[in-house]
Every structure is written in C-alpha cells, then in structure tokens.
Amino acid sequence: MAKAWSIDPTLFVKQVEEDVCKQLRVISIQLLNEIVMRSPVDTGRFRANNHVSIGSPDFSVTANTDKSGGPTLQQGSAVIAQGKPYSVIYIQNNLPYAEALENGHSKQAPTGLYANAFNGITRAYK
C-alpha cells in the first residue's frame, strides 16, 4: 500500500512559481549581458538597440547610442524584473544591419552575437 503525502503537494506551487520566475530573470539577464557586451561598438547605436520586452516583440528602433552598455543593461534588466513565472522574454535588435552582424559581418563580432550568447548560456545550464 502506498504511503500518503505528509504535506499537500499543492502547497509547493507558490514556491515553484517563485523559483521559476527567479531562474527566468537570472538567465534572461545573463543573455542580455552576453548580447550587449558582444555587440560591436563603433558608434554604440547597435548596442543601444538591444531591446527587451515581455509577452510580445518590441519592434522599435532608437537613435540613442550606448558605448559602455550600462544604460542598455539597466533598461533591459528593469523590464526583465517585471517578468512573471513562465513569461516569454524577447531580446532583439531591429536595426536593418542586425542580421548581417549576427551572420558575422563585423570584425568585432565575427561569429555573431545572439546565437553565441544563447549557446553559451544553454551550455551553462545543462
């Protein structure tokens, strides 16, 4: 005969959701940091155009520049902090030349940015 649970498993739901949300934020911030720091920095415009959104893509483009990456990381981290458990977080760059940079058309990022960041973070959590 099977032994009954001494504590109702549904009591753990809140803790599981909090843990999932925390891990989502940690991984998303690590991805954003990798992407921003790998971004070519001729003018800083590409770096400043790494946008973060939750639930749906953000197709905006800004004329701002960010050579250090600090402001972009702050803005993106603030958005990520609003994530709820199981949120879909988008990190994207909508400049016309973003795809070319991802495909290695930069001496500063000859192997791209987004895929490298994703692959590195994925390996870290296997």
Q: Is position 13 within any domain?
A: no
Query: For the chain, how many structural domains are there in total?
Result: 1
CA distance 49 to 51: 6
Note the pLDDT of residue 16.
Answer: 87
Q: Is residue 4 in some structural domain?
A: no
Domain assignment present for residue 118? The answer is: yes
Asked if residue 61 belongs to a domain, the reply is: yes
Q: What is the model's pLDDT at position 79?
A: 98
Instruction: Give residue-wise pLDDT tens across range 26-77.
Output: 999 999 999 999 998 889 999 999 999 999 999 999 999 999 999 999 999 9
Range of the domain at 24: 18-124
Q: Is residue 41 part of a domain?
A: yes
pLDDT at 71: 98
- Residue 21 pLDDT more than 90? yes
Name the pLDDT band for 1 (thresholds 50, 70, 90): low
CA distance linking residue 32 with residue 93, whole number of Å: 11
Residue 46: partners with Cβ closer than 8 Å, 6 or more residues away: 39, 40, 93, 95, 97, 98, 101
Domain membership of residue 3 (yes or no) is no
Whether 67 maps to a domain, the answer reads: yes
